[in-house]
Chains A and B, each alone.
Chain A
Amino acid sequence: MKTLLKLELKKTRLWPCILGGLAVVAAALALGGMFLAIGHTSGRSDPRLSSLAFVLQMAMVILLVGFSLVAAALCNLVFIDPYTGRNLALTLSCPIPRDRILLAKLIFVGLFTTLSYLAGTAITLTVLLLVDRLVGSLGTGSPGSLFGQVLLMMVTSLAGLVGLVGIALSLGFWRRSLPIMFAVLLLLDAVVGNLLSLSPPLSALVLLIIFLASLPAWWLLHRTLMKIELP
């Protein structure tokens, strides 16, 4: 499996995804900073805006939406490109059992997405917390409960990432269309992004539902790729 993963790494042009990940972190920092600034201004109509937990939650929503787009772009390179058009002959001429190849691809995408999401989240939250401390903290609750909320959001966001990308990828692959995949993903991101401004437990529930809803989509994709043959 290690060799298969190395080969996936060699075959895939990762730099656009790495740049995309950096852009997502920059966007999360910019928008998180904006929420932080709003929190420090007086005369707010919504008291939630004065809460550090809310600022972090918003930053994590941006990270989730952004990294779902990055993961989808990577899925295009790893799943859609090799299994469509002329590239299909190249993929199917590989003498390795298809289930092993698919597993390697899944692990590859999963590892890259998880690591980049966790790194991006760590950077964003650390910077926002440092800025918050520097300008006078918004934090009202205990650090322990804030940490718990962030951890819950991170875990469920990862599940949500798997769900969002799985549904979009399956629909995109079904029509062999990259625009359809991104259109579905943007639509889901828009809906989920808005729902995630709910309380953290409700957000976690939404993400878990998305994850569970994606399992049949992942299964259908796997079945299609296992049976695919040259036209």
Chain B
Amino acid sequence: MKVLEADGIVQVFEGREVLAGLDLTLGQGEILGLLGANGAGKSTLLKILSGMQRPVSGRVRFLGKPLSEGYPGSLARMGVSINEPVFYESLSARENLEIDLAYLSLANAGHRAVESAGISQLLEKVGLTADSATAVGRYSMGMRQRLALARCMGHHPDLYLLDEPLNGLDPIAIGQLRDSLRNLAAQGSAILFSSHILSEVLHTADRVMVIAGGRVSLRASVPELLSKGQEGAEQTLIKAMEG
């Protein structure tokens, strides 16, 4: 089943075409790694796919329905973390999650019950139990990334849109995130994440899409890329990122 379909996405900022007719599909249980140089349009694409930015032209369908009709209710079935994770800085991680889950409960009527009792489990899953009462404003970048992931996972969404979720994470946390994403995909969620760490994309994703100059310069499955060996795969990706 197709979770996400984007067709002919065009976005223009101040006369510059950031995305030039981009297509994308993502099925249940799939992990798609999104690559591109800085300013290639990865974050813009994720914002459009979440519904929080409207494209100049093109269509996005989420779970078979036009996203433009479902937004913002569609966000109740997505886990979205775009740009740097933002929270209510004066509140603790637990309070932040309580607020998020309260909004989701209001939006999710008839879909999936969100259990606030699960907050402790979520915090444990991302290794923030000890700091759950600390104001988020005092968190490091890595802790914020982990809390962002907890926020995304809280309601078992059908789709994860994660913008550079590996930023600020130490190698151990990167490994844990990789395992978490794999588990979530195994449970049926579709995952689209962007990153600059080529080796991690190759380790985590099923497929890779590279954007350069607002267009898709490469689409490939990870096994296909790795058939050239790790170094060969990374060379191919870098070449595609250069356009």
The residues of A with any CB-CB pair to B shorter than 8 Å are 3-4, 7, 10-11, 13, 86-87, 89-90, 92-98, 229-231
Given known pairs A7-B102, A95-B72, the reply for A229 and B86 (CB within 8 Å) is: no
Asked whether A10 and B72 contact (CB < 8 A) given A95-B107, A229-B53, the answer is no
The total of Cβ contacts below 8 Å across the A-B interface reads: 61
CB distance from A43 to the nearest CB of B (A): 54
Q: How far is the CB of B73 from chain A (nearest CB, A)?
A: 6
Stretch at the interface among B76-84, B173-181, B185-193: B76-84
Contact check, A89 vs B73: say whether CB atoms are below 8 A apart: no
CB-CB under 8 A from A7, the residues of chain B are 99, 102-103
Sample of 28 A–B contacts (CB below 8 Å): A7-B99, A7-B102, A10-B91, A10-B95, A11-B91, A11-B99, A86-B83, A86-B84, A89-B52, A90-B88, A92-B72, A93-B75, A93-B80, A93-B82, A94-B72, A94-B75, A95-B75, A95-B103, A95-B107, A96-B72, A96-B107, A97-B72, A229-B52, A229-B53, A230-B47, A230-B52, A230-B82, A231-B53
Write the nearest CB–CB distance from B74 to chain A, whole angstroms: 8
Interfacial chain B residues near A95, Cβ < 8 Å = 72-76, 103-104, 106-108
In the bound complex, do residue A3 and residue B72 qualify as a contact, i.e. CB atoms below 8 Å apart? no
Cβ B87 vs Cβ A13 within 8 A: no
Chain A residues with CB under 8 Å of B59's CB are none
B195 within 8 A of A: no
Task: Indicate if the CB atoms of B83 and A89 lie closer than 8 Å.
Answer: yes
- The CA-CA distance from A229 to B50 in the complex, in Å, is 11
Which 9 A-B residue pairs are closest in the complex by CB-CB distance? A95-B107, A95-B76, A95-B75, A90-B86, A230-B52, A92-B52, A230-B53, A230-B47, A229-B53
> Which of chain B's residues has its CB closest to A231's CB?
B53
Chain A residues whose CB sits within 8 angstroms of the CB of B86 once the complex forms: 86-87, 89-90
Contact residues in B for A92 (Cβ distance below 8 Å)? 52, 72
B82 to A, closest residue via Cβ:
A89
For the complex, give the distance between the alpha carbons of A13 and B88 in Å.
10
Residues of B in contact with A, size category: 20 to 34
B99 surroundings in chain A (CB, below 8 A): 7, 10-11
Interface centre among A89, A93, A231 (most CB of B within 10 A): A93
Least CB distance from A29 to B in Å reads 31
Residue of A nearest to B70 (CB): A95
Other 13 A-B pairs with CB < 8 A, given A4-B106, A95-B75: A3-B106, A7-B103, A10-B95, A13-B90, A86-B83, A87-B86, A89-B52, A90-B87, A93-B75, A95-B76, A97-B73, A230-B53, A230-B82
The interface residues of chain B lying within 8 Å CB-to-CB of A96 are: 72, 103, 106-107
**Distance A13 CA – B52 CA, assembled complex (angstroms):** 26
Judge if B54 is at the interface, Cβ distance under 8 Å: yes
Min CB gap A47→B, angstroms:
53
> What residues of B have a CB within 8 angstroms of the CB of A98 in the complex?
72
- Interchain CA distance A90-B100 in the complex, whole Å: 10
Complex interface: chain B residues within 8 A of A97 (CB)? 72-73
Complex-state Cα separation, A25 to B103, whole angstroms = 36
Min Cβ gap A176→B in Å is 17
With A and B bound together, what is the CA distance between A90 and B89 in angstroms? Answer: 11
Please name the residue on chain B nearest to A227 by beta carbon: B54
